[in-house]
Chains A and B, each alone.
Chain A
Amino acid sequence: MALDSKIPQGEMDKKWEDYKAHVKLVNPANKRKLEVIVIGTGLAGASAAASLGEMGYKVKTFCFQDSPRRAHSIAAQGGINAAKNYQNDGDSVFRLFYDTVKGGDYRSREANVHRLAEVSAAIIDQCVAQGVPFAREYGGLLSNRSFGGVQVQRTFYAAGQTGQQLLLGAYSALERQVALGNITQYSRHEMLDIVMIDGKARGIIARNLITGELERHFGHAVLLCSGGYGNVFYLSTNAMGSNVTAAWKAHKHGAYFGNPCFTQIHPTCIPVSGDHQSKLTLMSESLRNDGRIWVPKVKDDNRKAKDIPEAERDYYLERRYPAFGNLVPRDVASRAAKERCDAGYGVGTTKMAVYLDFASAIKRYGKIEAGKPGNEQADEAGIIALGKEVVKEKYGNLFEMYEKITGENPYETPMRIYPAVHYTMGGLWVDYELQTSVNGLYALGEANFSDHGANRLGASALMQGLADGYFVIPYTLGNYLADDIRTETIPTTHPAFEASEKAVSDRINKLMSIGGTQSVESFHKRLGKIMWGKCGMARNAQGLQEAIQEIQELRKEFWSDLKIPGEINELNPELDKAGRVADFLELGELMCIDALHRNESCGGHFREESQTEEGEAKRDDSNFSFVSAWEYKGDSNWELHKEALEFEIVKPTQRSYK
C-alpha cells in the first residue's frame, strides 16, 4: 500500500481551516447509531472520548488502570505550550510551528505541526473553562514560564503538576459523559486485539483483568490513545504499566509503525541506584533554568561535591555550548552527560551521574533578595538562607521528591542526575486525519508518530495529546464515519470476532503453558539492558546488529523458558505483564532495525557514524529526509515504506548551540 498522508492542498496556514470547512459531517441522528472505541484514557483518549461523547457518538473507553484518572499523562510535570502571546514577547502560531519543526530536527510533517500550533491556544481556553487551576499572576491572569530553550514564554503550568491538572480536567469531562450515558467506561480492561472485517477495524477483543475473561466489543471505528513505548527499555520514566501492546496489535493487522527508533532521552533524571531499580524519576527540565551541570575535572575524583574547589570543576555544557549553556535541548544535554560519564568523570557510587548544582543560583537569588528593602542586614549566611527560600518557592516539590528518593538534601549538596528514557516520538504512522494505514483505526497522542519529528520540545506532549483529542479527531473522524452511516452494528458473533478471540485465547494459553523457569521481570530487564546499551543514547551499526541478534535469541528463550504463576481466569498481574513484554520483545527488534537503517544522526537518534568533528549529531537530509513507516510482514520481517518530508516553510539547517 502506498503511503498517502492526505495533507490538504493550499497555503500552510489555510490547510486546516479549509479542511474543516469542507470535511464531511455526520448528522445528529446518525451519530447516535455510530459506535467508537477508545483505547487508553490519558490526555488524548479522555479528551477524544469526552468530545465524541458530547457530539453524540456512542463511545466505549478502555484502560488497564483501575480508573481513567491514573493514565500516565498524570505524571507530566512542567507545562503545556500554547501560542497565546499573553506575555507580549512576540509569540505567534508561526513561531510555535517553527520552533517545533526545528526542535524536531526536521523530521516531522510540517502540515501536522502547523495545525498543532493553530489549535494550541484553544486548548488553554478549553482547559480553563473546565476549571483547570493553572498558575496565575496577582492580577488574576494566567502565568507563563519559559521552557526548553525557546525564546518566548509560552508554557502554561500548574506548579509541577500540569499533566495531573490537565488530565483531571479531561477525566471530569469524560466522567460527565459517562453520567449522561454517552460513554461506557471499562476500567481494568486491556485491549488484546483489533478485529478486522472487510479490511476495516471493527472492534476489539479486551481482557477483563479482574476475571481474566475475554470480551468482544464492536465499534465503527477504533481510536488508539495508548501512549508511548519507552518501557521497552525496562527502566524509563514511564509508569510501570505503560506498554506498546495496543499499538503492536494494530501494527500486526497492517498499521505501519513510524520512526520506531526515535526515543527521547531526558537529561535530568534521578540516576539508577542499583539492580533493584524498577523505574526512573524525572526531575523537571525547568531545573536547568537555574541549576548548573558539572563533573570533576579529574577522573575518579572521590571527594564530596562540596570539597571540590571551583577551579577543579568542569561545567561542561557551559564550556562546550557557551551560547546556550545549561539550556541546550534535551538530546544535546543527554549526550554530553553520557560522554563525560563514559570518559570516567562521573560522580556518585555508580559513577553514572553528573551534578546539577543550585549553589550559585541560591547565592544569586539571595543577593537579589538582600537588595530588597528590609533585608539589608543579611550577612553571608543570611543571603544563603534568603536564596534558599526563593529556590524553594520555585522548585520546592521537586527538591522534596529528590530528597525522598535519594535521602540527600539538594539545598545543601548538588543533585546527582543522569539521562533516562522519557518519551517516544515514534509510534503508529498516521495521515493528516490521524488515521493509521488501517481503515477505521486511528492513533492519537504519544501513540502516533506525527508531530515531534526526531526530538520533542519540552511542554509539547501535553499540547499534542489534547490537540488530537479535543480539536482534531472530532473533525477527522466524522469525515470517515460519514461514509459509514449505513453500516449497522455488527453482532459480535461475527466469525471475525470468533477468530480474533480464539487467537487471543490461544496466545494466552501458550504463554501460560510454557512452564519454564524464568520470570517475566527477568526477561524484561534483560531486554532493557540490550536496548539501553545498544539502541540507547548512542547507536552504531555493529551494536545494533548485535542487538537484533540478541533480542531474537532472548525472544526464543522467553517463549521456551517463561514461568507464569497463577491462573488465566483470575487477576494475574504476571500474565498481564507477560503479554506486554512479549510485544516489547518484538518491538525492540524493529526499533533496532529502524535505527540501523537510519544511518544519520537526528534529534534523539544519534548514530556514532554520523557526527561532526566536535561530536555533534549530523543529519543527512539528502538520504534520510523521510518518515520510516514499517509494515509488518511476519516474524522478524518488515517492509520499509518511506514518506518523503517536504519542507515548504522551515528550511532545514544544521542546529547549532555553540
Chain B
Amino acid sequence: MEHYNMNLTLKVWKQKNSQSKGSFETYKVNDISSEMSFLEMFDVLNEQLVHDGKEPIAFDHDCREGICGACSMYIDGQPHGPWQQNTTCQLHMRAFKDGDTIVVEPWRSSAFPVIKDLIVDRTAFDRIIQAGGYISVNTGNAQDANNLPIKKQDADDAFSAAACIGCGACVAACKNGSAMLFVSAKVSQLALLPQGQPERETRVLNMVTQMDKEGFGNCTNTYACEAECPKGISVANIARMNKEYLKAGLNTKE
C-alpha cells in the first residue's frame, strides 16, 4: 500500500464538563501519515497541544482494536466515520486526503450526556443490562455443558447478536436517538438460547422499561443503526425484541 502524508484541518467539539456549554475549536495538524489510525492522528494533535501549553482533547478509547467499544466519535457526520462495520480506533487516515477538513463531535443523545469534549456517559447501557440482560445462574450451579445441545443456527444467531460491543453508535446514528439495536441484541441472544427461557418474558419487559426510563428515543425502523453498527448487528434483532415484547405483554399475569 502506497502511503502519503497529509495536512488536515480539524473541527472538534470542546466542552469543559457536563455543566458547561461547548463549542467547536479548529486545529491544524500537519504531516499525518496515511498509515496512522484516526486516534493516532488525535495523539499527534494532543501531543502538539500539550507542547503548546493548551489542554488536549479528551476522548474515550482503550483497546484500539475494535472490540472494547470505548471509542465513540461522530466523524464527518457519521458515527465511527466513513468506513463500514468499523470503529473509530480502526479507522485509518488513508480514508482522508490532503487538505481535508474533518468535523468531530461526541455522540448526541440525552441519555448520553457529555462528560467532557468527546467523552459521553454511557452508564445507561449498564443500567439496561442490570434490568435483565443476564441469566440468573449462580456460580457452581451449572450442569455439564454438553447436556444442553443447541441448534447450530440458534447458537450462531445468538453469537451474532452477542457480538455487540456496546459502543452506542446505534444511538448516535439513529435520528431518534433510539437504543433498540443495543437492547434487542441482548434480548435476542438470550431469547434464542434454551438457558434464557425461564426469564424470557420478564427480561424483555424490564429491559424495555429501563430503556424508556433512560430517555432514549423510539425506533422508527430507518435502520440507520444497522448500517452504522461496527459489528453489523442486524435489525432482525429489533423485530425479534418487538415480538418478544408483544408476547410478554400479552402473557403477563400482572
Interface set of A (CB-CB < 8 Å, partner B):
47, 50-51, 54, 65-72, 74-75, 84, 86, 122, 124-142, 158-159, 161, 164-165, 168, 171-173, 175-176, 178-179, 185, 187, 210, 237, 239-241, 273-274, 276-279, 281-282, 401, 404-408, 470-471, 474, 519, 521-522, 563, 565-566, 570-571, 573-574
Q: Is the CB of A142 within 8 A of B145?
A: yes
Bound CA span A132–B134, Å: 10
Residue B6 at the A interface, CB < 8 A? no
| Complex A-B: 7 CB contacts under 8 Å | A129-B135, A130-B135, A132-B162, A158-B159, A165-B162, A173-B134, A241-B62
Stretch at the interface among B120-128, B173-181, B245-253: B120-128
- With contacts A133-B155, A401-B90 known, is A239 near B149, CB below 8 A? no
Among B46, B61, B125, the residue within 8 A (CB) of A240 is B61
Task: Give B15-40 as 1s and 0s: 1 = Cβ < 8 Å from A's Cβ atoms.
Answer: 01100000000000000010111011
Q: Is the CB of A66 within 8 A of B70?
A: yes
Contacts of B53 in A (CB 8 A): 565
Bound CA span A237–B156, Å: 28
Q: Is the CB of B135 within 8 A of A131?
A: yes
Contacts of A137 in B (CB 8 A): 152
Closest to B94 in A: A407
Residue B236 at the A interface, CB < 8 A? no
Contacts of A161 in B (CB 8 A): 67, 163
- With contacts A75-B65, A131-B193, A187-B123 known, is A172 near B142, CB below 8 A? no
- With contacts A133-B193, A165-B162, A405-B92 known, is A175 near B62, CB below 8 A? no
Q: Is the CB of B43 within 8 A of A574?
A: no
Closest to B57 in A: A573
Closest 10 CB pairs of A and B: A140-B149, A407-B1, A172-B134, A129-B142, A125-B142, A133-B159, A179-B130, A128-B145, A51-B139, A133-B158
Q: Is the CB of A126 within 8 A of B142?
A: yes
Bound CA span A161–B135, Å: 20
Q: Is the CB of B126 within 8 A of A175?
A: yes
Contacts of B123 in A (CB 8 A): 66-67, 187
Residue B195 at the A interface, CB < 8 A? yes
Q: Is the CB of A66 within 8 A of B136?
A: no
Q: Is the CB of A140 within 8 A of B151?
A: yes
Q: Is the CB of B165 within 8 A of A164?
A: yes
Residue B144 at the A interface, CB < 8 A? yes
Contacts of B62 in A (CB 8 A): 65, 70, 72, 239-241
Q: Is the CB of B152 within 8 A of A408?
A: no
Interface set of B (CB-CB < 8 Å, partner A):
1, 16-17, 33, 35-37, 39-40, 43-44, 46-47, 49-51, 53-56, 58, 60-70, 83, 86, 90, 92, 94, 115-116, 119, 121-123, 125-126, 129-131, 133-146, 148-152, 155-156, 158-159, 162-163, 165-166, 189-190, 193, 195-196
Q: Is the CB of A276 within 8 A of B33?
A: yes
Q: Is the CB of A131 within 8 A of B190?
A: yes
Closest to B61 in A: A240
Q: Is the CB of A175 within 8 A of B129?
A: yes
- With contacts A128-B195, A573-B58 known, is A276 near B122, CB below 8 A? no
- With contacts A66-B122, A136-B150, A571-B115 known, is A522 near B68, CB below 8 A? no
Residue of A65, A84, A240 with most partner-chain B CB within 10 A? A240
Bound CA span A131–B149, Å: 12
- With contacts A161-B163, A405-B92, A471-B139 known, is A138 near B152, CB below 8 A? yes
Closest to B87 in A: A404
Bound CA span A573–B158, Å: 37
Closest to A409 in B: B1
Whole-angstrom distance from the CB of B201 to the nearest CB of chain A?
Answer: 16
Among A129, A175, A237, the residue within 8 A (CB) of B130 is A175
Whole-angstrom distance from the CB of A405 to the nearest CB of chain B?
Answer: 7
Among A75, A128, A134, A187, the residue within 8 A (CB) of B142 is A128
Among A67, A125, A407, A563, the residue within 8 A (CB) of B145 is A125
Give 12 new A-B contacts, CB below 8 A, not counting A404-B66, A521-B50. Answer: A65-B70, A129-B145, A133-B156, A137-B152, A138-B152, A139-B149, A176-B136, A187-B123, A239-B62, A407-B1, A471-B139, A571-B116
Whole-angstrom distance from the CB of A119 to the nearest CB of chain B?
Answer: 10
Residue of B55, B125, B142 with most partner-chain A CB within 10 A? B142
Whole-angstrom distance from the CB of A560 to the nearest CB of chain B?
Answer: 17
Whole-angstrom distance from the CB of A133 to the nearest CB of chain B?
Answer: 4
Whole-angstrom distance from the CB of A159 to the nearest CB of chain B?
Answer: 7
